[in-house]
């Protein structure tokens, strides 16, 4: 059986790996990226290149967006040249970026008005997992829509968790990244304490890595901080964005996320120090420069 045609919108750190996985698995894919230079290499992988999201969506059975934030997502989906303007009735729309619940609900309504289905399917994992097809999809939407999307999602990942109705996937992703951001901020401060105190850094980190704090995130980020290697796996400025979104979602539930606020301050300082386009682990450099 022929595989469904897919429109893939957004070819950044994550989207590029995801689109290549779809192409490698034999899906016919049309890609769009705002910076057209990023689209051209995909032609060699068998993709069609679209000039607009609307053009990419024409004839697609699935439309997947993977961009940085609400504004970027809105610019792809909505408007005269947006994907929904080109989508046929019955197309399933999949938003995989880390965006707010309010935007997901607005997008879901717009998709419905266009005769399309909609799920939110953000991911856990970073650039490495995207390139290897090892992402975990966190899905909000109906069971029926998820079953339609399942073969497409599993071409890019190795697990799917259905969290509930539309917006549920985005909410847990924001909560997940809030906890990660706080951990990374505290690790940056802890590593600075170790370095300034004169402790044996390798031995101290081994104690922590093999103890209760030693999560996969701790191990990966501490390695990048000590190398140091700030080649982006997850952009520092996007963690600041995610923490900002977490504060909004917490506020809706009458929860003032004090730890998120504190971590956000440190990530904002990292951006101000010139590290916004580097990996999240570069947050430690603002302490080293003092």
Tens of pLDDT, residues 121-164: 999 999 999 999 999 999 999 999 999 999 999 999 999 999 99
Evaluate whether 62 touches 53 at the Cβ level (below 8 Å): no
For 211, the domain range is 171-288
- 15 shares its domain with 154: yes
Low-confidence residues of the chain, pLDDT below 50?
Answer: none
The answer on 116 and 250 residing in a single domain is no
Q: What is the DSSP letter of 161?
A: E
Residue 184 lies inside a defined structural domain of this protein: yes
Q: What is the CATH number of the domain that holds 41?
A: 3.40.50.720
- How high does pLDDT run on average in the chain? 97
Q: Which of 173, 219, 258, 268 is catalytic?
A: 173
Pairwise CA distance, residues 196 & 175, whole Å: 32
The C-alpha angle with vertex 283 and arms to 279 and 285, in degrees rounded to 5, equals: 105
Helix (H) or strand (E) holding 7: strand 6-9
119 φ, ψ (degrees, to nearest 5): -135, 150
Residues 111 and 84 in one domain: yes
Are 96 and 221 found together in one domain?
no
- Assess if residue 1 is contained within a domain: no
Query: Is there a single domain that holds both residue 45 and residue 159?
Result: yes
Kind plus residue range of the DSSP H or E element containing 92: strand 92-95
86 part of a folded domain: yes
| 122 and 183 fall within a common domain | no
CA distance 139 to 161: 6
Q: Do residues 175 and 85 share a domain?
A: no
What pLDDT was estimated at residue 290?
67
What is the structure's pLDDT at 289? 75
Say whether both 179 and 137 belong to one domain.
no
In a domain, 23, yes or no: yes
Q: Are residues 10 and 120 in the same domain?
A: yes
Beta strands in the chain (DSSP E): 6-9, 29-32, 48-49, 62-65, 92-95, 117-120, 123-124, 135-140, 157-164
Residue 262 in any domain: the answer is: yes
Domain boundary among 164, 188, 207: 164
* One domain for residues 217 and 252: yes
Q: What CATH number is given to the structural domain containing 224?
A: 1.10.1040.10
- Residue 173: active-site member: yes
Q: Are residues 143 and 190 in the same domain?
A: no
- State the total domains in the chain: 2
Question: Are 24 and 120 within one domain?
Answer: yes
Backbone φ and ψ of 12, nearest 5°: -85, -155
**Is 175 inside any structural domain?**
yes
Distance CA 139, CA 282 (A): 30
Asked, for residue 89, whether it belongs to a domain, the answer is yes
Among residues 114, 132, 164, which one ends one of the domains?
A: 164
Domain membership of residue 214 (yes or no) is yes
Note the pLDDT of residue 174.
98
Listed residues 164, 186, 206: the one ending a domain: 164
């Amino acid at each position: 059986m022929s595989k469904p045609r897919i429109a893939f919108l957004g070819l950044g750190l994550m989207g590029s790996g995801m689109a290549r996985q779809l192409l490698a698995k034999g899906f016919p894919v049309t890609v769009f990226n705002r910076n057209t230079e990023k689209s051209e290499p995909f032609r060699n992988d068998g993709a069609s290149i679209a000039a607009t999201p609307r053009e990419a969506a024409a004839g697609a059975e699935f439309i997947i967006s993977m961009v940085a934030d609400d504004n970027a997502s809105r610019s792809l989906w909505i408007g005269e040249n947006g994907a929904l303007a080109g989508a046929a009735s019955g197309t399933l729309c999949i938003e995989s970026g880390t965006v707010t619940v309010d935007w997901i609900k607005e997008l879901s309504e717009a998709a419905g008005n266009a005769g399309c289905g909609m799920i939110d399917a953000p991911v856990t994992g970073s650039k490495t997992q995207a390139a290897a097809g090892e992402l975990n999809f966190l899905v909000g939407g109906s069971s029926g829509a998820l079953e339609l999307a399942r073969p497409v999602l599993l071409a890019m990942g190795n697990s799917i968790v259905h969290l509930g109705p539309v917006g549920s996937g985005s909410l847990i992703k924001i909560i997940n990244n809030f906890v990660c951001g706080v951990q990374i901020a505290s690790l940056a401060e802890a590593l600075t304490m170790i370095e300034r105190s004169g402790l044996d850094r390798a031995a101290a980190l081994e104690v922590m890595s093999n103890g209760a704090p030693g999560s996969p995130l701790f191990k990966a980020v501490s390695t990048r901080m000590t190398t140091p290697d700030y080649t982006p796996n997850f952009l520092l400025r996007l963690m600041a964005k995610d923490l900002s979104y977490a504060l909004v979602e917490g506020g809706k539930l009458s929860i003032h996320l004090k730890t998120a606020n504190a971590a956000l301050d440190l990530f904002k300082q990292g951006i101000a120090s010139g590290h916004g386009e580097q990996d999240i682990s570069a947050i430690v450099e603002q302490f080293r420069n003092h």
